[in-house]
Amino acid sequence: MADRVIGVDVGGTNLRAAAVDAEGTIACRQAARTPADAGPDAVVDALLTLANRAGAEAGLPPDAPLGIAIPGPLDPATGVVAFTPNLKDWRDYPLGAALRQRTRRPFRLANDGNCAAVGEARFGVGRGVDDLIYLALGTGVGGGIITGGHLIEGTTGFGGEVGHVVIALDGPRCTCGSIGCLEAYVGGWAIARDASLVATTADGMALLRLAAGRPITPAIVATAARDGDPAAGAILDRAGRALGAALGAFANIFNPRLIVIGGGVGSLGDALLEPARTAMANHAFPENRTAARIERSRLGDDTALLGAAALAMEAPTIEDEATG
Amino acid sequence: MADRVIGVDVGGTNLRAAAVDAEGTIACRQAARTPADAGPDAVVDALLTLANRAGAEAGLPPDAPLGIAIPGPLDPATGVVAFTPNLKDWRDYPLGAALRQRTRRPFRLANDGNCAAVGEARFGVGRGVDDLIYLALGTGVGGGIITGGHLIEGTTGFGGEVGHVVIALDGPRCTCGSIGCLEAYVGGWAIARDASLVATTADGMALLRLAAGRPITPAIVATAARDGDPAAGAILDRAGRALGAALGAFANIFNPRLIVIGGGVGSLGDALLEPARTAMANHAFPENRTAARIERSRLGDDTALLGAAALAMEAPTIEDEATG
């Protein structure tokens, strides 16, 4: 078990690497734009450059392990990335094999939502908690689950897709092709969709004024709601109730101690989270509701990087497995 | 790790005990009616009588472990049963303490749905599978989940309540007090509710004829559907689509290898399971859908008893924990 490793977070926009120690202290940060349109090889080159730079600056040995958070589902055993919504040409990309050719470092790969759950459990508000759900409420809805101390990865690494659970059989269409997913209510794109619809009506005056000719974002909806605009409040109320219904379902399935809310939509405030708490209370068994507290993430943008680092510290890496 | 133990299944109607070995072979079965209305002490006396008889007949030592499946949520660490829908006066009953006073045997307690999941993974169609969901489709909907080889029990033992996840924000009222739970669509009581409603209309002739003056059961609905009655087929189609939507959500959360369907409603056949498969395909990511196969349980009434026995074989029992 390594006590100093390099964490890497491959985002659709930003690529970040840093040295991380067993207390979760981050040092020697490196960052660059992700060459998202240049294909996977360019991303691998860029991430190794950043990782090596972070490792060298931190004085880590050349075989210090890497933990890498990937913005899409992958099989952690084989290192094959199934797809990434925001990186070009990554379908069925053998990232594990590509890394093995280009670095001597052992490494561990995981989906960024799963990494974030581990980051919260190891270094965040979930420190010491064995039963934890992390929800990343951004443009999309992702996350990860730790139950009884174990990260849910699933039989082929596609576990933890908490944004794509049905909460309404006759609900709106989701980007994933399904109907009525949680994300189709509380994803940033869904809130923007609802706001755009309202903006076509007489109720949309406040939203249009705040947007000043640009697209209406979830942040604009939250500002309007804080200013007392009833239409904006109703949009966040609907999204929050949907979120709470899903949290109630998660509470009944997992009986978690803690639900951690991260992401930009997650920071919109009480206009979203209060209806969520109420709906969760209506949808969960009393015992499951009582056991679970809801908290905001306080790790900011570092959640997935820290979790990837924690996984590289704890678990057998792909390199370890390949060599015995 | 004991290789021969006594499994006990405390049902709302029947109480059953048997000796179980490491291959899942059942011997020296004992059964009685559960004294469900006589209070918990009477049930404890009755279950220990059956268990001791099974142990004696099988030639097991007096300290052979007990594994006990309980029809309600409990905290496996403390042995306190929160409630049991079908047994009188069990609210917050300290079953662990009561057993410790009355038997020298070490024991392990678990919710019956969780036991059944373990039974399938250890001795049933899920033998050797590390990622498995068991769904008990009976009058109610229960079940249990094994992910990465670990049973989900949750932070206070209330995990695995797969019947009480919202699938429709505006759905029917559930017995648990919530709205739109899976059970409110596919539980036996929900199918009977739908059939009773249809029976008040002109479409209900076939159902009324088959019921012959008695309440319409799910089995009657299935018979009518097999006979070609469109109203009965529509009832099972609706329940099946709801089931499939939930299976799709479970597939996205857990990425299981196997979903095992048990219970009386689960045996109603293709009129229920075919729409479920179709809906699951619509609601799960392709990778998660492909990874998971659906099978019927083949352990019959023994699933929970075998799982309780497997838990007693594998894990530290309450007695072990208490004594260090």
pLDDT at position B106 over 50: yes
Judge if A89 and A168 occupy the same domain.
no
pLDDT at position B31 over 60: yes
* pLDDT of the residue at B85: 82
- According to DSSP, residue A216 is labeled P
What's the half-sphere exposure (Cβ side, CA atoms, 13 Å) at A117? 28
A159·B248 Cβ contact <8 A: no
* Residue A177 neighbours by CB distance under 10 Å: 12
* pLDDT of the residue at A314: 87
Q: Is the dihedral of CA A126, A127, A131, A134 positive or negative?
A: positive
Judge if B282 and B141 occupy the same domain.
yes
Residue A82 forms contact with B (CB below 8 Å): yes
Residue A241 forms contact with B (CB below 8 Å): yes
The model's pTM is 0.93
Judge if B80 and B173 occupy the same domain.
no
Residues 133-152 of B with CB under 8 A from A: 145, 147-148, 150-152
In a domain, B123, yes or no: no
Find the length of chain B. 324
* pLDDT of the residue at B320: 47
Option in A245, A249, A287 nearest B73 (CB):
A287
Residue B281 forms contact with A (CB below 8 Å): no
In whole angstroms, give the CA distance from residue A284 to residue B14: 29
Q: Indicate the pairing of strand B66-70 with strand B4-10.
A: parallel
Residue with tokens 């075989």: A63
Give the residue among B80, B280, B90, B184 at the shortest CA–CA distance from A283.
B184
Residue with tokens 């699951």: B280
* pLDDT of the residue at A1: 66
Judge if B136 and B153 occupy the same domain.
yes
- Structural domain for A264, as ranges: 129-297
**SS3 assignment, position A266:** helix
Residue B28 forms contact with A (CB below 8 Å): no
A241·B169 Cβ contact <8 A: yes
What CATH code is carried by the domain that includes residue A143? 3.30.420.40
* pLDDT of the residue at B314: 87
Nearest residue on chain B to A165, alpha-carbon basis: B249
Find the length of chain A. 324
Judge if B294 and B308 occupy the same domain.
no
In a domain, B122, yes or no: no
Judge if A68 and A159 occupy the same domain.
no
Q: What is the mean pLDDT of residues B180-189?
A: 97
* pLDDT of the residue at B317: 56
Option in B82, B159, B249 nearest A166 (CB):
B249
**Which residues on A lie below 8 Å from B179 (Cβ)?**
282-283
Judge if A173 and A265 occupy the same domain.
yes
A291·B256 Cβ contact <8 A: no
Report helix, strand and coil shares of chain B as percent, to nearest 5. 45, 20, 35
Residue B178 forms contact with A (CB below 8 Å): yes
Residue A160 forms contact with B (CB below 8 Å): yes
Judge if A198 and A77 occupy the same domain.
no
Judge if A59 and A136 occupy the same domain.
no
Option in A145, A176, A249 nearest B166 (CB):
A249
Model confidence over B231-241: pLDDT tens digits? Answer: 999 999 999 99
Judge if A287 and A306 occupy the same domain.
no
Low-confidence residues of chain A, pLDDT below 50?
A: 320-324
* pLDDT of the residue at B76: 85
Tokens of B6: 């006594």
Q: Is the dihedral of CA B41, B151, B143, B156 positive or negative?
A: positive
In a domain, B181, yes or no: yes
B283·A178 Cβ contact <8 A: yes
In whole angstroms, give the CA distance from residue B139 to residue B150: 27
Over pLDDT 70: what percentage of chain B? 97
Give the residue among B270, B323, B317, B312 at the shortest CA–CA distance from B294.
B270
In a domain, A67, yes or no: yes
Judge if A109 and A133 occupy the same domain.
no
pLDDT at position B294 over 60: yes
Residue with tokens 């869904």: A190
In a domain, B17, yes or no: yes
Judge if B166 and B188 occupy the same domain.
yes
- Structurally, how many domains does chain A consist of? 2
Option in B159, B165, B254 nearest A255 (CB):
B159
In a domain, B313, yes or no: yes
In a domain, B266, yes or no: yes
Bigger pLDDT: B267 or A315?
B267
B169·A168 Cβ contact <8 A: yes
Nearest residue on chain B to A283, alpha-carbon basis: B178
In whole angstroms, give the CA distance from residue A167 to residue B176: 17
Q: How confident is the model at residue B95 (pLDDT cuts 50, 70, 90)?
A: very high
In whole angstroms, give the CA distance from residue B180 to residue B163: 10
In a domain, B10, yes or no: yes
